[in-house]
Amino acid sequence: MKNETKELKPKNDVIFKNLFSKAGNEDMLRELLEAILNIKITEIEVQKEVELSKMHINEKYGRLDLKAIVNKNTIVIIEMQMKDTCNMEKRAMYYVSKVIGSSLNTGETYEQIKDIYIISILNYEITNLKEYFLDTVTVENKYRKYEIIKGIKYYFIELPKFRKCVNEIKTKFEQWLAFIDYEDKEMVEMSITKNKLVEKAQKEYEYLTGDAATMRLQELREKAILDERSAYLTGKKRGEQNGERKGKIETAIAMMKNNINREIIAKCTGLNEKELDKVFSQKV
């Protein structure tokens, strides 16, 4: 094991993508997906394999999700999220819509649309539920056992909860999560000992993290993710401020129409003199 101060882990999207999309590692991906989806996979095809040597520098701003077709009829997307960008649910919904739109070729019927499974492995918590693995479905509001849309499923795996809940590795699912998370080295060693494919993944991982190009690309990715989160929070704050100001102005207008004293309006709304002048001159 490595003891570097800043250690790239398999849950980093650059490392994860190159571990599981590499030609020859289909057996690793198959076992991981079988453990998550609880299905038997007889055929798997990784889409648009990305090699570090072919990555363009601009890809640091793009998505590095892993996309595969399993058993010819299901598209599976695995997304790694190291930091909370505060918009996980909207991103997942948007991404599914894009995949659906691009999956149907000209001349094909709706019946030929493949099922779509989105697997989000998160290095943070998004729910108050105690379970670290969420297998979601869309159901009818009154009859909760009646599943409406069966072709789209979201899976959320919260790694911090996994660390809290699992003290002993018992299943292949837990073996792979321990390896991907890479926080508890004892559990990683146990997984490597018990599972030959996890052992193979460890060797691939050691090779990738020793590559200078990988390290540089990951640094760029981390900066891009932080920039994205900062931009989102700034935009959200501005939106909230604009919404708050609009509400104050609407209140001031209503008070003005009821002939309420300007001084009282100022105290109630917190609007300054310039803003009040606009209200009273009907120029808002």
Residue 35 lies in a domain: yes
Q: How many domains does the chain have?
A: 2
| Same domain, residue pair 110 and 175 | yes
pLDDT digits (tens, 9 = 90+) for 185-216: 999 999 999 999 999 999 999 888 876 555 55
Mean local confidence (pLDDT), 87-93: 72
Q: Are residues 190 and 146 in the same domain?
A: yes
Does position 3 have pLDDT exceeding 70, yes or no? no
Residues 132 and 89 in one domain: yes
Which pLDDT tens digit goes with each residue over 247-279? 778 778 877 777 777 877 777 777 888 888 887
| pLDDT given at position 184 | 95
**Residue 131 domain-assigned (yes or no):** yes
Same domain, 272 and 141: no
Residue-range definition of the domain harbouring residue 114: 13-210
pLDDT-derived band of residue 151, with 50, 70 and 90 as boundaries? confident
In terms of domains, do 252 and 275 share one?
yes
Query: Looking at residue 58, what is its pLDDT?
Result: 39
Residues 176 and 221 reside in one and the same domain:
no
Q: Could you give the C-alpha distances from 162 to 26, 171, 180, 187, in angstroms and in order?
A: 25, 13, 11, 12
Boundary-marking domain end, from 169, 185, 210: 210
Is residue 8 in a domain?
no
Higher pLDDT, 5 or 142: 142
Q: Are residues 108 and 246 in the same domain?
A: no
Tokens of 33: 């997906």
Residue 79 has pLDDT above 60, yes or no: yes
Q: Is residue 3 part of a domain?
A: no
Structural domain includes residue 1: no
DSSP code per residue over the chain = ----SS---TTSHHHHHHHHSSTT-HHHHHHHHHHHH-S--S-EEE-S---GGG--GGGGGS---EEEEETTTEEEEEEEESS--S-HHHHHHHHHHHHHHHHSPTT--GGGPPEEEEEEEESS---S-S-SEEE--EE-SSSTT-EEE-SEEEEEEEHHHHHHH-SS--SHHHHHHHHHH---HHHHHHHHHH-HHHHHHHHHHHHHTT-HHHHHHHHHHHHHHHHHHHHHHHHHHHHHHHHHHHHHHHHHHHHHHTT--HHHHHHHH---HHHHHHHHTT--
Q: Choose the final residue of a domain: 171, 191, 210.
A: 210
Are 48 and 157 within one domain? yes
Whether 86 and 184 map to the same domain: the answer is: yes
Residue that terminates a domain, selected from 210, 237, 272: 210
What's the start-to-end Cα distance of the chain, in Å? 64
Q: Is the pLDDT of residue 53 over 70?
A: no
Q: Do residue 149 and residue 165 come from a single domain?
A: yes
277 found inside a domain = yes
What was the pLDDT predicted at 1? 45
Q: Are residues 260 and 176 in the same domain?
A: no
Same domain, 131 and 245: no
